[in-house]
């Protein structure tokens, strides 16, 4: 359990790396981020479909039988997907991380023309600061189910959980950029920008612990496998609704997303095969 919590914490704190990049926009390369986000999607989709769903169905066969186990797994994955959709619905469109990934440049004044921005010089600063702080809160909410996904996966299989944490960490880097960029532009303070990026990432271990305790309180021991199935549905939703569209927004050529996705899926499948040897 300690390992699972540490893994969730480290995945969440990858927003700090994004925050650091958000104060050094010139270091970001769109094609690299596109491939990385698609790679993360490939990892998450592969582990959900190839590992979590089949293992959950096998575990439930002894409880409800083979046919009903498949129905339960499918239904719970749909619920997990809908939870992510619900979170997105209550988040304002203009600050939703799934909408802004790939378009953080609009938060930097002057970057539309490739020019450096100068923080703290005009009346837009207060609005930028409010936007950044609101984004930090929204990203925190957005990270709650991801923290649960990382925590539960690591409890079930540490190797697969750590691999998933890497995928989520890649996903969190652009979110850290989105939080830190407007705050740095408004205040000229890297420390303040990084602080808010860090706070938004800390929602992942919080979501892990709270979600796990709630699921343990609700589900009987033999049904706890469904909590991991719920997580698989969440990961599929995050991949198809956020990671892949964001990768497309970043890419400068369609092959960057395709190659990244293919490599992510292959790496995950190969790692699962090696675990069985």
DSSP-assigned letters across all residues of 160-225: HHHHHHHHHHHHHHHHHHHHHHHHHHHH--HHHHHHHHHHHHTHHHHHHHHHHHHHHHHS-GGGTH
Helix (H) or strand (E) holding 254: helix 254-276
Pick out the chain residues at pLDDT < 50. 105-124
Distance, CA of 192 to CA of 189 (rounded, Å): 5
Angle at 82 between CA 76 and CA 83, to 5 degrees: 90
Per-residue confidence (pLDDT) for residue 71, from 0 to 100: 92
Which backbone phi and psi does 109 adopt, to 5 degrees? -65, 135
Per-residue confidence (pLDDT) for residue 79, from 0 to 100: 92
Per-residue confidence (pLDDT) for residue 108, from 0 to 100: 45
Report, in angstroms and rounded to the nearest whole number, the Rg of the chain calculated over CA atoms: 19
CB 33 within 8 A of CB 248: no
Q: How many CB atoms lie within 10 A of CB 76?
A: 23
DSSP state of 117: P
Domain that holds residue 144: 2-276
Count of domains in the chain?
Answer: 1
Q: Show Cβ contacts of residue 238 under 8 Å, excluding neighbours closer than 6 positions.
A: 44, 84, 145, 146, 171
Per-residue confidence (pLDDT) for residue 262, from 0 to 100: 93
Distance, CA of 39 to CA of 32 (rounded, Å): 10
First to last CA, the chain: 25
CB 231 within 8 A of CB 146: no
Per-residue confidence (pLDDT) for residue 116, from 0 to 100: 36
Per-residue confidence (pLDDT) for residue 107, from 0 to 100: 45
Q: What is the pTM of this model?
A: 0.69
């Amino acid at each position: 359990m300690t390992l699972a919590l540490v893994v969730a914490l480290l995945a969440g704190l990858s927003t700090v790396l994004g925050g650091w990049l958000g104060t050094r926009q010139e270091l970001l390369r769109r094609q690299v981020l596109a491939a990385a986000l698609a790679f993360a999607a490939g990892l998450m989709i592969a582990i959900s479909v190839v590992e979590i769903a089949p293992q959950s169905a096998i575990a439930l066969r002894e409880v409800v039988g083979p046919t009903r186990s498949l129905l339960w797994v499918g239904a719970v994955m749909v619920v997990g997907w809908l939870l992510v959709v619900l979170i997105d619905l209550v988040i304002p469109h203009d600050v939703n991380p799934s909408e802004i990934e790939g378009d953080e440049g609009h938060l930097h004044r002057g970057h539309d023309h490739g020019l450096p921005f100068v923080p703290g010089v005009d009346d837009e600063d207060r609005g930028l600061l409010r936007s950044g702080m609101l984004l930090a809160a929204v990203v925190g909410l957005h990270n709650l189910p991801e923290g649960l996904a990382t925590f539960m996966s690591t409890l079930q299989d540490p190797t697969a959980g750590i691999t998933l944490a890497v995928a989520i960490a890649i996903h969190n880097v652009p979110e850290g950029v989105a939080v830190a960029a407007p705050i740095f532009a408004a205040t000229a303070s890297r420390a303040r920008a990084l602080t808010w990026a860090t706070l938004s990432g800390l929602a992942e271990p919080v979501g892990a612990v709270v979600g796990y305790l709630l699921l343990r309180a609700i589900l009987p021991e033999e049904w706890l496998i469904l909590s991991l199935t719920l997580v698989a549905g969440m990961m599929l939703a995050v991949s198809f609704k956020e990671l892949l569209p964001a990768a497309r927004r970043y890419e400068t050529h369609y092959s960057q997303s395709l190659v990244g996705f293919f490599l992510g899926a292959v790496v995950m499948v190969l790692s699962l095969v090696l675990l069985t040897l």
